[in-house]
Structure 1
Amino acid sequence: MPRLPKIVRNAAFRFALAHTIVFVISVAAVGLSAEALVTRALRLQAQQRVEEEIAELKGEFQQYGRDAFLELIRAQLAKGENRLQFLVVSADGKKLAGESILLRVVEKSSRFAAGEAREVALSRSDAMLVARQPLAEGMTLLVADDMRSIEDVEDVVSSAFYVVLAISALLGLLAGVILSTGLLRRVDRVTHAAEAIIAGDLTRRIEITEAGDEFDHLSSTLNTMLDRINGLMESLHQVSNDIAHDLRTPLARLRQNLEEARTRAETTVQYEAAVDKAIAEADGLLATFSALLRIAQIDAGTRRSAFTRVDLSECLQTVAEAYLPSIEDNGRSLSCSIEPDLLVEGDDQLLTQLFSNLLENAIGHTPSGTAIRLELCQHAAGAGIAAVIADDGPGIPADEAKKVFRRFYRLEKSRSTPGNGLGLSAVAAIVDLHKAKIVLADNRPGLRVKIIFPNKS
C-alpha cells in the first residue's frame, strides 16, 4: 500500500482538514436552511398576493357588472403597472380580456379550487403561480404571477451561498491550521521533554504556561509523575547501595561463622555453637529481606484496594496495651490520651504495624526512665486526625531528621543496637500509602513524631 504524502500524514494538516470539513458542513447546513426559508417566504408572499388580487377582482365584478369589469381589466393591462397578469375567458374558452399567454394554463387550472393559487409549469424552466375564479355567465377569471422573479432571487441566493461556502472553506482551513499548529506545538513540548528524559535527563520537566488550561493541567500531572518516578529511581539507587554496604557485614559474619564451623570446631558443642551463630545471621538476613519486600509491596500501593473504614482510636489503644508490659519492664512509662471513635480509610494491619514500629523505635533508642506518650485527636478544627508518639529521650539531630526514613539508615549512636534500619522506612511507606503526612519535631527534650491523617484517605 503506497505511503501517503508527508503533508497528509502530518497531524496538524489532518486536524485542520477535519476542522474545515466540519466547518463547511455547518455553513452549508445553515446556508441551505436560509435559502429554503427565503424561497418559501417569497412563494408564500406571491401566493398571498395572487389570492388577495383575485378576491378583490371578484368583488369588483359583482359590484360593477360584466362590461365594466372587462373594461377595468383592459385598463389595468394598458397601464402596465401591475406585475400580475389577468385573463377573462368565456364559457367556451375564448378570451374576453387579458393576457393571451394565460390561455395556455386555462385547462390546467380547471382542477384548482376557486380562489386558491397553485403553481403551473409552462416548460422545464418556466412556471407561473395561477389562481382561477368562476364568474357569472360561465366566465372564468385567471390571475397569475410570473415565477421568474422568485427564481431570480433563488439564483442570487444560491450564488451568494456558494461564494460564502468557498470563503468559509478557506477560512476554516486557515483557522484549522492556526489552531492545530498551536495545539501541536504544545504537544511537541511534551514530546521533546519525554525524549530528553528517555535520553537520560531525569531532571527535565514539561514547560507550564500561564494559561491554566487542560494542557497546563496535563503538564503539571506529568511533572508530578516524573518527580515520583525520579524519586523512586533515586530510592532504588540508594537501596542498591545500602544493600551492598549494609548487608555485606552480616554476610561476612555468616561466612566467618561457617568457616569456623568447618575449620576450628573440634567438639560437637563448638560445632553447634558456630552453626547457631550462622543460623542467627541467616535469620537476620531473611528478616531484612522480608522487611524490604513488605516496604516494596506498600510502595506499590496494591493494598489500597483493600482499604476499609478503620477505627484509629481502637487501633492505637490496642497497640498501646500490647506494648505496655514491655515498656514498663524496661523501666519506661507510657501515658495515653486517645479520643474515641476517630475513623480513617485505611488498612488495619498496616496501621497497627505503623504504630508498633514507632513504639519499638521509641523503646529501642531511649534509656531507662524515659516517658513515652501517645496522643490521638481531631486536628485543626476537623481538617484531619493527628496521632502523636512522643518521648523525652535523646531525640534526633535536626540535620538528620529527613535521613532516618531512608532504608538502612541508622544514626551513629544507634549502630550498636539491634535492628536493620528499615523500621522508619516502613513507617514512611505506610504513611504515604494512606496519603497522610509525618512530621518529626523536637519534644524538648526527646523526639515528637506527628502523623496527620486526612478524614478520608
Structure 2
Amino acid sequence: MKNQLLEALHEVWGSVAFRLTLNYSLFALSTSLVLLAFFYHQTVGILESQFSRQVATTAQRMSAHFDQGGLPGLTNEINLELADHVNSDTEMFLLVDRRGKALAGNIQPDAVLLSLKEAGTNHAVILRGRGAHGYLVARDLPDGSKLIVGHDLRDLHEITQLIKRISLVATGVTALLVLLGAYLFRRTLQRRVEVIRRTATQVGAGQLKQRIPVQHRQDEFALLTHDINNMLDRIELLMNGVRHVSDAVAHHLRTPLTRILARLRSALRPGSSYEELKNSIVFLASEIEDLAKVSEKLLQIAELESGTRRKKFEAARIDVIARDVVELYEAVAEEKQASLRFSSAGPVCVHGDPDLLAGAIACLVDNALKYAGGAARIRVEVAQRAGQAMISVIDNGPGILPDKHKRIGERFYRLNRDVPGHGLGLATVIAIARLHDASFELRNAEPGLSVSLTFASPAMRAQEAPA
C-alpha cells in the first residue's frame, strides 16, 4: 500500500502540468500572503494611530480643564468621564498630586506609571482591579501633579488576533485549493496530451492515416493539433511518394537491366563477329546512359525536395529567364514547324535560383513541343497579378483529360508511351515549384493545355534583380 502511494505521488509530481500549475499557484499564494501581511500591518498601524490620537486629544482636553478649574475642576471632569459609561471600560485615567497620591482615575498607580514621560507608550496596568494593557500618555501639570490618560488595547489585540486567524484559515484553504487545482489541471492537460501521444504512437507503429481528433475550441492545443495533422499529412504524402518511387524505380530499372543482361549474354556467345560485338557495346552504352539520366533526375528531385538549393536563391528576372528559354527553343520549334512566342507585361522579379527556374520553364516548353503535335502554337506568358509573379506555357494541342490531371507529376508516369522520355520532367518542375513556394496549376485551355507557376511570395522590384 505504501509503495503504491509513493508511486502515485511520484507519478503526480513527475507531471510537468502539475509542477507548472503548482509553481504558479505557490507564486500566487506567496503574493497573496505578502499582500495580506501588508494589509495586517497597515490595519494595526491605523488602529494604533487612531488610539494615540484619541488619547492625545483626551489628554489635551483634560489639561484645558485644569487650566480653567484647577485641580478640583480636573478631578471633577475625570469623575464625570468615568461615570457617563461611554467607553468607560476602555478609557484609562489617573490623577496624582505632587506626593504621588491618587486623586481620581480608574487605574492603580505604581512607580513606573509615576515615572512616565509625555511620549506615549504601551504599558501593563491594573484597571478596576484586573490586569490590562494600555496605551498611556503622561502630562506634568503646573502645580506638580501628574495626569495619565490612556486607552485599553484589548480591542486592538482582539482585532489583530482575528486578522491572524483569518489569515491562517485563508492560507490553509488557499493551499488546499492550490493542490486541488494543480491536480485537476494536470488531469485536464494529461487527457489532451494523451490524445496526441496515442496518435503519435499509432503513427510510429505504421498507421500513417491516424490523425489527432480536432477540437471545436480554438485554443493552443487546437493550433498544435492543426500543425501536427498537417505534418502527418505531409509525412504520409512523402512516405507514399517514397513507396511509389521505390516501386516505380524497381519496375523501370528491371526492363533496361533485363535488356542489358540479355544483350551481354548474346555478345558472350562463341562465334560473335566484330560487328555484333560493336553493336552490342553501342546498345549497352545507350542503355547505361539512359539509366544514368534517370538516376540523375531522381537525385535532382531528391535534392530539390530537401530544400538545400535555397542557399543559392537571389533576385531573378523571371521574364528575362523565360525569354532566353524561348530563344533557345526557337530552332527546335522551327524544325517541328511549330510557333513559339513570348510575351511579358514588363519586368517581373522573384527570389529564387535562376538555373532551376530556367530548367523548369525549359521542361514545360519541351513538353509542349512534344505533345502539342505538328504545327503547334505555343505561348510563354509572364505576368504579375495581385503582386504575385506568374508564368504560363499554353499550347493548342489535344490537352489532357480531366481524370488524368491528378496523376500528372507522378514519377515515371507518362501519358503517351510513344513519345520519348522517362516520366520525370513534370515531377522535377513540381519539385522546383515547391522549393520556390510556387503553386503548379494544370488546366485545359480549350483547345490545348495551360500549365502555370504562381509564386506565393510577392514579386520583387525590377531594380533588385539583374536584367
TM-score for the superposition, normalised by structure 2? 0.87
For 1:451, give the aligned amino acid: L
Q: What's the counterpart of residue 453 of structure 1?
A: 455
Q: What's the counterpart of residue 44 of structure 1?
A: 49
Q: Does 1:336 align with 2:342?
A: yes
Q: Does 1:88 align with 2:88?
A: no
Q: Does 1:309 align with 2:312?
A: no
User: CA 1:40–1:314 in structure 2 vs 1: closer, same or farther (change >3 Å)?
Assistant: farther
Q: What's the counterpart of residue 162 of structure 1?
A: 168
Contact 1:344 1:454 in 2 (8 A): no
What is the aligned counterpart of 2:183 among 164, 177, 180?
A: 177
Superposed, which structure 2 residues align to 1:123-272 within 5 Å? 127-263=133-269, 266-272=272-278
SS of corresponding position for 1:167: helix
Q: CA deviation at 1:122?
A: 7.2
Q: CA deviation at 1:433?
A: 2.0
Q: What's the counterpart of residue 395 of structure 2?
A: 391
Superposed, which structure 2 residues align to 1:61-100 within 5 Å? 61-82=66-87, 83-91=90-98, 93-100=100-107
Q: CA deviation at 1:129?
A: 2.0
Q: CA deviation at 1:268?
A: 4.3
How many residue pairs get matched? 447
What is the aligned counterpart of 1:53 among 58, 61, 70?
A: 58
SS of corresponding position for 1:195: helix
Does 27-36 or 334-343 show the bigger shift? 27-36
SS of corresponding position for 1:288: helix
Distance 2:282 2:235 in 1: 42
For 2:407, give the aligned amino acid: K
Q: What's the counterpart of residue 6 of structure 1?
A: 8
Q: CA deviation at 1:220?
A: 0.8
Distance 1:228 1:200 in 2: 15
For 1:291, give the aligned amino acid: K
Contact 2:18 2:185 in 1 (8 A): no
Distance 2:433 2:22 in 1: 51
Q: What's the counterpart of residue 434 of structure 1?
A: 436
Distance 1:230 1:181 in 2: 32
Q: CA deviation at 1:79?
A: 4.0
- List 4+ stretches of structure 1 deviating above 6 A: none
1:240-278 CA distances to partner (integer Å, 9 max, x unpaired)?
110111121222222233334433784545433322221
Distance 2:313 2:145 in 1: 97
Q: CA deviation at 1:78?
A: 4.0
Distance 1:117 1:167 in 2: 40
Contact 2:392 2:452 in 1 (8 A): yes
Q: What's the counterpart of residue 417 of structure 1?
A: 419
Distance 1:324 1:419 in 2: 21
For 1:59, give the aligned amino acid: A
Distance 1:195 1:88 in 2: 90
User: CA 1:161–1:428 in structure 2 vs 1: closer, same or farther (change >3 Å)?
Assistant: same
For 1:393, give the aligned amino acid: G
Distance 2:288 2:209 in 1: 40
Q: CA deviation at 1:26?
A: 4.1
What is the aligned counterpart of 2:383 among 377, 380, 403?
A: 377
User: CA 1:99–1:265 in structure 2 vs 1: closer, same or farther (change >3 Å)?
Assistant: farther
Contact 1:378 1:386 in 2 (8 A): yes
SS of corresponding position for 2:457: coil
Contact 1:19 1:173 in 2 (8 A): no
User: CA 1:143–1:331 in structure 2 vs 1: closer, same or farther (change >3 Å)?
Assistant: same
1:92-112 CA distances to partner (integer Å, 9 max, x unpaired)?
5554433444645436632xx
Superposed, which structure 2 residues align to 1:320-359 within 5 Å? 320-359=326-365
User: CA 1:454–1:20 in structure 2 vs 1: closer, same or farther (change >3 Å)?
Assistant: closer
Q: What's the counterpart of residue 277 of structure 1?
A: 283
Does 394-403 or 286-295 show the bigger shift? 394-403
Distance 1:419 1:74 in 2: 124
Q: CA deviation at 1:294?
A: 1.1
Q: What's the counterpart of residue 39 of structure 2?
A: 34
Distance 2:256 2:93 in 1: 120
Distance 1:102 1:308 in 2: 99
Distance 1:326 1:134 in 2: 125
Superposed, which structure 2 residues align to 1:116-127 within 5 Å? 116-120=119-123, 127=133
For 1:6, give the aligned amino acid: A
SS of corresponding position for 2:156: helix
Contact 2:65 2:73 in 1 (8 A): no
Q: Does 1:408 align with 2:412?
A: yes
1:145-185 CA distances to partner (integer Å, 9 max, x unpaired)?
22222111111111122222222223333333333222211
1:202-235 CA distances to partner (integer Å, 9 max, x unpaired)?
1111011111111111111110000000001110
Distance 1:425 1:265 in 2: 46
SS of corresponding position for 1:211: coil
Does 284-293 or 273-282 show the bigger shift? 273-282
Distance 1:399 1:329 in 2: 33
User: CA 1:66–1:244 in structure 2 vs 1: closer, same or farther (change >3 Å)?
Assistant: same
Contact 2:107 2:125 in 1 (8 A): no
Contact 1:23 1:172 in 2 (8 A): no
User: CA 1:84–1:105 in structure 2 vs 1: closer, same or farther (change >3 Å)?
Assistant: farther
For 2:280, give the aligned amino acid: A
Distance 2:177 2:34 in 1: 17
User: CA 1:40–1:446 in structure 2 vs 1: closer, same or farther (change >3 Å)?
Assistant: same
Distance 1:365 1:104 in 2: 123
For 1:131, give the aligned amino acid: V
SS of corresponding position for 1:355: helix
Distance 2:104 2:372 in 1: 127
SS of corresponding position for 1:387: strand
Distance 1:73 1:302 in 2: 99
Q: CA deviation at 1:285?
A: 0.8
Structure 2: runs of 5 or more not aligned:
460-467
Structure 1: runs of 5 or more not aligned:
none
